[in-house]
Amino acid sequence: MCGIVGYVGHRQALDVVVGGLRRLEYRGYDSTGVGVLDGDRIAWAKKAGKLTNLDAVLETAPLPASTTGIGHTRWATHGGPTDANAHPHLSPDERLAVVHNGIIENFIALREELEDAGYEFSSETDTEVVVLLLHRELQRQPDFVEAVRAVCRRLEGAFTLVFADAQSPGVVVGARRNSPLVVGRGDGENFLGSDVAAFIDYTAEAIELGQDQVVTITPDSVEVTDFHGAPAETTTYTVDWDVSAAEKGGYRWYMLKEIEEQPKAVADTLLGRLDPDGQLQLDEMRLSDDELRDIDKIIIIACGTASYAGLVAKYAIEHWTRIPCEVELASEFRYRDPIIDRSTLVVAISQSGETMDTLMAIRYARQQRARVLSICNTNGSTIPRESDAVIYTHAGPEVAVASTKGFLSQVVACYLLGLYLAQIKGTKYGDEIDVVIRELQRIPEGIQRMIDEGEQVRKLAAELVDRTSFLFLGRHVGYPVALEGALKLKELAYVHAEGFAAGELKHGPIALVEDGLPMFVIVPPRARDQLQEKIVSNIQEVRARGAHTIVLVEDGDDTVLPFADVVIRLPKVPTLLQPLVATVPLQIFACELAEQLGHDVDQPRNLAKSVTVE
Ligand code: M6R
């Protein structure tokens, strides 16, 4: 949600900043803007819409050469996506510029205060108060960095801010509370970015910033303090993916590339998890086995697709560990007074590690003394840093707004957690755990097969391109797959799509069925005969009412053939692993339908990759 870049060094700042914005555009694309130092003022350009609009502005009116600059790509919160609301926001004399991600919650009071002091506002944003406060502060005391700290102390809410001051060439200052900001360390140059993608073309050395910290970068130094100026300790790490991982690599869309990376994402997430004795080991687990043995309840919290990964995991975790497991939307969790204590394990699932609802939920959980374990794909991000333990998914950067490899690798990481708990609690024998691990290790082949057979689904999308409503049905772990299939279609194709537990059909949703309504049905493996039989009946019920049934069913199960208009074959895998293969054709379908409808697959309207406001 908003991408921020800052640069000081020996290169043309504009090139570095615009390049960084291109990589961060997935975070928001309502407007973009840049500012570079130009003598005693900041030269700037900003434009509503995607970065290509700003490119056009810069082509007709280039900014001057400079080695200090900042930039922003916006997901609108306060004020619509207009040129005036685009960042950077500037002081009246254009000496100061700021870019911002987050929400300044006390901006109305601050705005009134500044208006009383004679300031005029030129945007509807909450951000403008920040640059005007800084302007006023610098009249009281001349030190740029100290003035930034003083401003930060007055702000409430969530913010990442990056400032430039025309009177401080070669200096860029950043600050963060709750929203993400990472430092990139270069040689004679330094970078700030909402995430490492902003500077991965130049350096893989990154510094995590903690809460309520201010960072000052010059070409040769990085200095971090708290909001009162006390020096702060930092952790440096090396980014373990290279530039090519964040590039389209010849694919039309990042989403297509990321769908195809799923076999590897799953394999990498499983890699190195067994010790030489075949015992499951989780290296990043910072909770002791004794602490984990004390756990008597698990609550999984997450948003969107990550919450569906949690719903899948619940079936497996309860089955393997016999520990009650609930799944809850992070945005609801802390507002309902949940019953949690020291023996509750709260599992936060987040690809980005920055989702604000999830972050706030884990803070709440820790206040209530629960232990928090996160499942995350982004090293150095806030959620794992604030958790007691972490299991990283090794999916590599996920750039498309629609999560694909993130989802599959989250399910796998949750399964590893479930098996690990089963191992230390002794609820499963070692050889039973081995069997599951071996089946999991074979899953990338199954995923690959679904990718290779994608053409069938693409043709189906072409046939159904004029439909405006789709339903998805599943039972057991197929139910969250149905939810995920529907979510993908909503966010990419902007059509009505809903997922239901098949057993709920007759309790209402069947009234939606009319002639020709496309209905995807995920059939559980035949080994689960009761479940399988029930869903076959459900297919007959909707078919009898005119639904166009698209049935995902394992190889060799022909019981559904008389009632299926389209059959999508799945490899035979154990029930609990079926989501890992069944989700893939639904991703491909949504991607293709969106493409056929002429939508931007990677940057769907109104969305942003990482939702850093509540
Ligand atoms: O980064 P997170 O996993 O915390 O993100 C959670 C959701 O915002 C995310 O999964 C969202 O639902 C996706 N756009 C779905 O494709």
**Is the same domain home to 424 and 486?**
no
Name the residue at shortest CA distance from atom 11 of ligand 1: 304
Find out whether the beta carbon of 375 lies less than 6 Å from any atom of ligand 1. no
Residue 514 lies in a domain: yes
Least confident piece of the model among 240-254, 303-317, 318-332: 240-254
**Is the same domain home to 232 and 279?**
no
Residue 603 lies in a domain: no
Name the residue at shortest CA distance from atom 14 of ligand 1: 402
| Domain containing residue 577 | 453-596
**Res. 169: pLDDT tops 90:** yes
CA of 540 to the centre of ligand 1 (A): 34
- Of 241, 276, 308, which marks where a domain is finished? 241
- Per-residue pLDDT of 192-238, as tens digits, reads 999 899 999 999 999 989 889 999 999 999 999 999 999 998 889 99
**Res. 168: pLDDT tops 80:** yes
Residue 119 lies in a domain: yes
- What distance in Å separates the CA atoms of residue 451 and residue 405, rounded to the nearest whole number? 12
Find out whether the beta carbon of 306 lies less than 6 Å from any atom of ligand 1. yes
Atom of ligand 1 nearest to the CA of 351: 3
CA dihedral 595, 597, 600, 601 (to 10 degrees): -40
Residue 253 lies in a domain: no
Find out whether the beta carbon of 532 lies less than 6 Å from any atom of ligand 1. no
**Is the same domain home to 566 and 479?**
yes
Name the residue at shortest CA distance from atom 12 of ligand 1: 304
CA of 293 to the centre of ligand 1 (A): 31
Atom of ligand 1 nearest to the CA of 609: 14
Find out whether the beta carbon of 6 lies less than 6 Å from any atom of ligand 1. no
Task: Provide CB contacts within 8 A for 290, sequence distance 6+.
Answer: none
Instruction: Count Cβ neighbours within 10 Å for each residue of 546-556 and write b for 16 or more, e otherwise.
Output: ebbbbbbbbee
Mean pLDDT of 178-205: 94
Average per-residue pLDDT for the chain: 94
- What distance in Å separates the CA atoms of residue 74 and residue 608, rounded to the nearest whole number? 9
Question: Which residue is catalytic, options 2, 152, 325, 591?
Answer: 2
Residue 246 lies in a domain: no
**Is the same domain home to 175 and 310?**
no
Please state the domain count of the chain. Answer: 3
- What distance in Å separates the CA atoms of residue 322 and residue 418, rounded to the nearest whole number? 10
CA of 124 to the centre of ligand 1 (A): 28
- What distance in Å separates the CA atoms of residue 423 and residue 418, rounded to the nearest whole number? 9
**Is the same domain home to 72 and 169?**
yes
What was the pLDDT predicted at 75? 84
What was the pLDDT predicted at 613? 75
Question: Which residue is catalytic, options 46, 47, 264, 609?
Answer: 609
CA of 239 to the centre of ligand 1 (A): 22
**Res. 245: pLDDT tops 80:** no
Find out whether the beta carbon of 578 lies less than 6 Å from any atom of ligand 1. no
Task: Look up the CATH number of the domain holding residue 554.
Answer: 3.40.50.10490
Residue 4 lies in a domain: no
Closest among 455, 514, 510, 501 to 474, alpha carbons compared: 501
Q: What pairs with residue 376 in β-bridges?
A: 350, 392
- Of 418, 444, 470, which marks where a domain is finished? 444
**Is the same domain home to 119 and 184?**
yes
Q: Where is mean pLDDT largest: 241-250, 271-280, 396-405? A: 396-405
Task: Return the DSSP state at 597.
Answer: T
Residue 249 lies in a domain: no
Mutate to test the pocket of ligand 1, among 259, 300, 403 (most ligand atoms within 8 A of CB): 403
Are 78 and 112 in contact by the 8 Å Cβ rule? The answer is no
What was the pLDDT predicted at 28? 80
The edge-to-edge listing of strands for the beta sheet with 518-522 is 496-501, 469-474, 518-522, 548-554, 566-570
**Is the same domain home to 51 and 101?**
yes
pLDDT category at 279 given cuts 50, 70, 90 is confident
**Is the same domain home to 478 and 556?**
yes
- Per-residue pLDDT of 581-592, as tens digits, reads 999 999 999 999
- What distance in Å separates the CA atoms of residue 205 and residue 83, rounded to the nearest whole number? 34
Cβ atoms within 10 Å of 308's Cβ, excluding its own: 29
609 in active site: yes
- Of 444, 479, 500, which marks where a domain is finished? 444
**Is the same domain home to 58 and 112?**
yes
**Res. 242: pLDDT tops 80:** no
Name the residue at shortest CA distance from atom 16 of ligand 1: 402
- What distance in Å separates the CA atoms of residue 65 and residue 125, rounded to the nearest whole number? 29
Name the residue at shortest CA distance from atom 7 of ligand 1: 304
Are 16 and 68 in contact by the 8 Å Cβ rule? The answer is no
Find out whether the beta carbon of 352 lies less than 6 Å from any atom of ligand 1. yes
Mean pLDDT of 512-535: 89
2 in active site: yes
- Per-residue pLDDT of 53-62, as tens digits, reads 999 999 999 9
**Is the same domain home to 434 and 476?**
no
**Is the same domain home to 229 and 85?**
yes
Atom of ligand 1 nearest to the CA of 304: 12
**Is the same domain home to 403 and 478?**
no
Find out whether the beta carbon of 402 lies less than 6 Å from any atom of ligand 1. yes
Residue 570 lies in a domain: yes
Task: Look up the CATH number of the domain holding residue 84.
Answer: 3.60.20.10
Name the residue at shortest CA distance from atom 2 of ligand 1: 350
Find out whether the beta carbon of 413 lies less than 6 Å from any atom of ligand 1. no
- Per-residue pLDDT of 545-564, as tens digits, reads 999 999 999 999 999 999 99
- Specify the pTM: 0.85
Find out whether the beta carbon of 85 lies less than 6 Å from any atom of ligand 1. no
